Structure 1
Amino acid sequence: MEKLELIATTTFGLEAVCKRELLDLGFEDKLVENGKVTFFATEKDIPKANIWLRTAERVLLKMGEFKALSFEELFERTKALPWDEWIPEDGNFIVEGKSVSSKLFSISDSQRIVEKAIVEKLKTKYNVEWFKKSGVKYTVEVSLLKDIATLTIDTSGEGLHKRGYRDRAGDAPIKETLAAAMILLSFWNKERTLLDPFCGSGTIPIEAAMIGKNIAPGLDRNFAAEEWVRIPKEYWSEARRDAFKAIDNNVKLDILGCDIDKRSILRARDNAANLGLEEDIQFFMKDMRDVDLKDDYGVVITNPPYGERMGEKEEIEQLYTDLGKKFKELNTWSMYIITSEESFEKLYGKKADRKRKLYNGRIKVDYYQFYGPKPPKEN
């Protein structure tokens, strides 16, 4: 089967996590760059990548890449690409674009040139002068970075963070992809207790339960490429059957989520129930200061309130100080906390073993990692 180049796009800072996911899925990675990982795959792998990737934002089919210093060059090189092998005569293709540090800085002009080039290419196969575009949608993107044009078609449709379970979200929800990355970057595993003391609508506990039970994150949603003529329907059916078979329904998880807001807890329970995980996660309403915990090698992974979005600065600072005091006595616990507060370590009362720069939406955050000892059976 023909080898294709696919691109898994990511939030900045998650490229290495996504690369590890791709390697674990059996893909051969080619290149890791800011915000994306290029890898080799086949048509059958397009469903697999979309259904299984937890930290990628989208999976793009790479049509071509070349230097473009003029619109004439962009037109001719785009026209030479095999658009006719993917887009049918009635294909409803639209062109999106972006340009950074490139001579061809006009995005609208670049989009127009690329669309014209694709039309000219399709004319050579379908022998028509006008395309109705009444069929399946194909989202083409021309990305210009330092005069290098990358042409892709989006296979995902809606962003992969939209798993389908989060009907109700809180006031400041964390993206599912970032929540999954926080878990994958931690030392938590399905044998250990996990607590999110600021669980909101339950995203971190739910993503952890999905990882613990090996539930593919895209199992309950649809993708743009499912409607493409080029990819047989049985590829999608087979990928979903394999994903269902991979679920570990026998694993016993100890995942806890608490919040002081009753509405958040109700949302979290509903979201977990959408995946049938209501028996795997305990959500309860309580201030984190009052939660009773055993010193039993548990793991905290959390996205606490930060900035002016969620409350006054003084309240947030006191919250972080109290969080540090709460877990100071729990010597065997590991803590993983994401926040935009630059003085977090001072407020928490301890320097992190590792700090990783990430982004929560457009907000620059740091992921503070405090390592506790390994449980005895892991030694």
Structure 2
Amino acid sequence: MDIYELIAPCHFGLESVMKREILDLGYEISSVEDGKVTFLGDAEAIAYANIFLRTTERVLLKVGQFQAESFEELFEQTRALPWENYIPKDGKFWVAKANSIKSKLFSPSDIQSVMKKAIVERLKEHYRVEWFPEDGASYPIRVSFLKDQAVIGLDTTGVSLHKRGYRQLTAKAPITETLAAALLMLTPWKRERILVDPFCGSGTFVIEAAMMAAVIAPGMNRTFLAQQWRELVPEKCWRDALEEAREQVDLSVATDIQGYDIDGEIIKAARENARLAGVEQMIHFQQRAVSELSHSGKYGFIVTNPPYGERLEEKSALPEIYRTLGERFSQLDTWSLYLITNFEDAQRCIGRQAAKNRKIYNGMLKTYFYQYPGPKPPKRTEKIQ
């Protein structure tokens, strides 16, 4: 099989997590840049990456990279790429997204239009036709400019990979599934350890944790654009990847994963989301305020996305919420606390400085992931306490 460069975009600040995931799948990393990791893989890697990677939004098949400071250069450089190696005669192709940072070419619509014309000219010459029906499989193209360097890729995924298929109902300010998975991977939590989210909302943190505990591949229950690309990615690649994913699932694992929220309707939604994800039996949901946070076990984890003004009418309520969280955490003396927020006074209200904090962009919103690691359990401790 041919070897391709594949690009996995991720949240800014979480490239190390994405890199580790790709290495764990067995693929070679070719570069790590802000917001993306590029790796080498064959057609099978396209299927495996889409089905198994938890922290990327999509998988792009890199077609080319070049410098362009004028639309003439963009046209000629785009036309020079071997589009016929990827797009068949009946393929439906368009430049679905263009973005530009610190580059002379900055108009997305103009970039899209020029590139489409250039691809049409290339394929007309190759297929010796004057018109394309575009009634076959879809081949959306994405281009990103940084300092006049254009990177062009075909989107193998389609609907973003954070759409696992289970979150039908959401809270007012949900965290994406990919970001929740990445943040969980930044913690030392393992499936035999307790995990509680006292602001669980629609359940994303606890559902992602349960899926990780049961080794449920995030893309098992959805489809991908590249499944239509029979010439590029044979059906056997998808079959093999899906079969391996199914063989790994272990729903018999014992877990202590709990999600609380003060809103009873939101808890109902979280339960339904967990059912759709196939992990309802692994999570205990309860309508409960953060002031009632307690647990008899030791060495547990609180991993949460507390309110930070985006989903509250009054920001004046935030100090009390974070103070209460800090008080309850202080009563769990062997526990660890990890929370993502953009509330500037979070540490002061919690009552202590985080051991670490990491800047992470949640969409366009700058947030911090505050990390309060607790003591490690004795090595002989293997069961949930």
Q: Give the TM-score normalised by structure 1.
A: 0.97
Quick one: which of 335, 352, 366 aligns to 2:337? 335
Q: How big is the shift at 1:138?
A: 1.0
2:85 matched to 1:85? Answer: yes
2:372 matched to 1:370? Answer: yes
User: Structure 2 CA distance, aligned partners of 1:288 and 1:30?
Assistant: 44
User: Structure 1 CA distance, aligned partners of 2:21 and 2:202?
Assistant: 25
Which residue is equivalent to 1:25?
A: 25
Return the letter of the residue paired with 2:204.
T
Which residue is equivalent to 1:118?
A: 119
Quick one: which of 264, 267, 274 aligns to 2:266? 264
The DSSP-based 3-state class of the residue aligned with 1:39 is strand
User: Structure 2 CA distance, aligned partners of 1:135 and 1:306?
Assistant: 46
Q: How big is the shift at 1:73?
A: 2.2
- Asked if structure 1 preserves the Cα contact closer than 8 Å seen for 2:257 and 2:282, the reply is yes
User: Structure 2 CA distance, aligned partners of 1:44 and 1:66?
Assistant: 27
Return the letter of the residue paired with 1:148.
Q
User: Structure 2 CA distance, aligned partners of 1:116 and 1:195?
Assistant: 53
Residue by residue over 1:297-336, the C-alpha shift from the partner in whole angstroms, topping out at 9 and shown as x without a partner, is 1100000111153242221110100111111121100000
Which residue is equivalent to 1:188?
A: 189
Q: How big is the shift at 1:19?
A: 0.7
User: Structure 2 CA distance, aligned partners of 1:143 and 1:297?
Assistant: 44
1:124-135 paired onto structure 2 within 5 Å: 124-135=125-136
Which residue is equivalent to 1:276?
A: 278
User: Structure 2 CA distance, aligned partners of 1:135 and 1:224?
Assistant: 12
2:220 matched to 1:219? Answer: yes
Which residue is equivalent to 1:204?
A: 205
Which residue is equivalent to 2:12?
A: 12
In structure 2, stretches of 5+ residues that fail to align are: none
Return the letter of the residue paired with 1:100.
I
Identity %: 51
Return the letter of the residue paired with 2:77.
R
1:51-130 paired onto structure 2 within 5 Å: 51-95=51-95, 96-130=97-131
Q: How big is the shift at 1:293?
A: 1.1
Return the letter of the residue paired with 2:228.
E
Residue by residue over 1:335-365, the C-alpha shift from the partner in whole angstroms, topping out at 9 and shown as x without a partner, is 0011111111110001111101112222211
Q: How big is the shift at 1:184?
A: 0.3
- Asked if structure 2 preserves the Cα contact closer than 8 Å seen for 1:68 and 1:149, the reply is yes
User: Structure 1 CA distance, aligned partners of 2:106 and 2:310?
Assistant: 36
The DSSP-based 3-state class of the residue aligned with 1:243 is helix
Residue by residue over 1:151-186, the C-alpha shift from the partner in whole angstroms, topping out at 9 and shown as x without a partner, is 111011011100000111111111001110111001
User: Structure 1 CA distance, aligned partners of 2:116 and 2:310?
Assistant: 43
User: Structure 1 CA distance, aligned partners of 2:58 and 2:322?
Assistant: 34
- Asked if structure 2 preserves the Cα contact closer than 8 Å seen for 1:139 and 1:153, the reply is yes
Moved over 4 A (4+): none
Which residue is equivalent to 1:175?
A: 176
Q: Alpha carbon RMSD of aligned pairs, Å?
A: 1.3
User: Structure 2 CA distance, aligned partners of 1:330 and 1:144?
Assistant: 48
The DSSP-based 3-state class of the residue aligned with 2:151 is strand
User: Structure 1 CA distance, aligned partners of 2:243 and 2:295?
Assistant: 39
Q: Give the TM-score normalised by structure 2.
A: 0.96
